[in-house]
Structures are given as structure tokens and as C-alpha cells.
Amino acid sequence: MLTERQLDALTTVFREGAQDASLACSRWVGRSVEIAVQRVEQLDMADAVAVLGASEEPITSCIMAIEGRLTGGLILAFDDASGWALTDLLLELPLGSCSAWGELERSAVLETTNIVGCAYLNSLSRLLQRLDEPPELMPSPPQFARDYASAILQSAFLNQVMSSDTIFLTETRFHLDGAPANWNLLFVPDAESIPVLQRMLT
């Protein structure tokens, strides 16, 4: 369990990653993408699965596993409207053009996850380097899942849940100017990585 002070300190640690991720996303999309929310949370597992919304409607998500000094999962989640708006922008189509998840649309959100996720990891890697820790953090190829939000999160939390009833995660919500695009980037470290994060604070 992390203390309030540690949670606050970790929010600062992850801020750089969140900023780098929004910058990378802005460059990729060709429009200003801003951080609406950036925080670090420790929630009871029953509440943690509601972090992407308590609705029973499916959401779209792309998930990457992380290997290296820190392990865990990175999830970029969004509703259909936000996902298709992103795809419209990336394909230089008028907003409202994409309305299904074909190969091209999926590749657009998957590549966005790759770019945004790597920017986040690149930042964490530089931090590890400054702390004389092995810096390499490599993601797996992202996977696409359109499913109930809490079902997706149950799987993302499985590692932590095996040793705890509370879930630690970082959350960054992005907003894209002029488009219905609200995306949520979650970093869910494995249980073994939480002490590593704590050591980063000392």
C-alpha cells in the first residue's frame, strides 16, 4: 500500500511521461492534444474496474504489455465516437466518415497506442537511467479489444489482484480540440514493479 504522500510524489514522476505522450499524440494527429486529467490512484478492486466508466456498454481499447525493469500493462481506451474521430483525422477524412472497425481503422488506433505508449515508456526509461536503474522498457505489439470495460480491466488487474485487494494505476485523460475525442491512457504495473516505483521516490 502506498501512502498519500507517495501517491502525490508519483503523480509528479509520471507527469513528464503524460506530457511526452500528449506531445507525441499531437504530432501524430496533427492537432493539439491536451491532458485533461493526470493522476495516480490506489483503489479497491471493485472500484478500480469502474475507472473507464461504470456503464455496461462496450468500449474500445488497445493494450500493450511492458517488459523491462518495470512490467505491467498500458491501455489506451476510448468510446467508438472518439476512436473513429481519431481515425478520421489520421486518414485525413471529414469527421464522421469512419463508422466501423475494419483493418485500417484498427491499425490507426493501434498505431496511436504504440506511439503514445512508447512516448510514455521512453520518458520512464529516461527516469530509470537517471536513477542508475536498467533503463530498457519495451512494449509488446498492441492488441485491439472491443469489450465491456470492467471485463477488460479485470484482466489488466489480474497480476496485482493476486497479491492485493487494492489496485494501483496511473491515469491520463487526453482531450483533442474540436473533436469528440476523449481517450484514457492507463498504466497498470505488475505487483513486482510497485516497490520499484516506490524506490524511485527516495
Among 77, 98, 121, 181, binds another protein (CB under 8 A): 121
Report, in Å, the least distance between residue 131 CB and another protein: 15
The alpha carbon torsion through 153, 158, 164, 170 (nearest 10 deg) reads -40
Among 3, 143, 177, 192, binds another protein (CB under 8 A): 143
Q: What is the DSSP letter of 191?
A: G
DSSP 44-79: EHHHHTTTT-S-SSEEEEEEEEEEESS-EEEEEEE-
Give whichever of 147 and 177 is closer to another protein, judged by the CB atom: 147
- How far is it, in rounded angstroms, from Cα 146 to Cα 60? 4
Binding mask 158-177 vs another protein (x if CB under 8 A, - otherwise)?
xx-xx--x------------
Site for another protein in 5-64 (CB under 8 A): 24, 27-28, 45-46, 49, 56, 58, 63
Stretch that binds another protein, among 31-39, 152-160, 171-179, 193-201 (CB under 8 A): 152-160
127 interacts with another protein by CB under 8 A: no
Give whichever of 136 and 177 is closer to another protein, judged by the CB atom: 136
67: which residues sit within 8 A by CB, 6+ positions away?
Answer: 137, 138, 139, 140
Give whichever of 104 and 201 is closer to another protein, judged by the CB atom: 104
- How far is it, in rounded angstroms, from Cα 99 to Cα 91? 13
Report, in Å, the least distance between residue 114 CB and another protein: 5
Helices 4-29 and 80-90: angle between axes, nearest 10 degrees: 40
Kindly calculate the radius of gyration of the chain based on its CA atoms and give it in whole angstroms: 16
Q: How many residues bind another protein (CB under 8 A)?
A: 50
Helices 103-130 and 4-29: angle between axes, nearest 10 degrees: 130
Binding interface with another protein (CB under 8 A):
24, 27-28, 45-46, 49, 56, 58, 63, 65, 90-91, 103-104, 107-108, 110-111, 114-115, 117-119, 121-122, 125, 129, 135-141, 143, 145-148, 150-155, 158-159, 161-162, 165
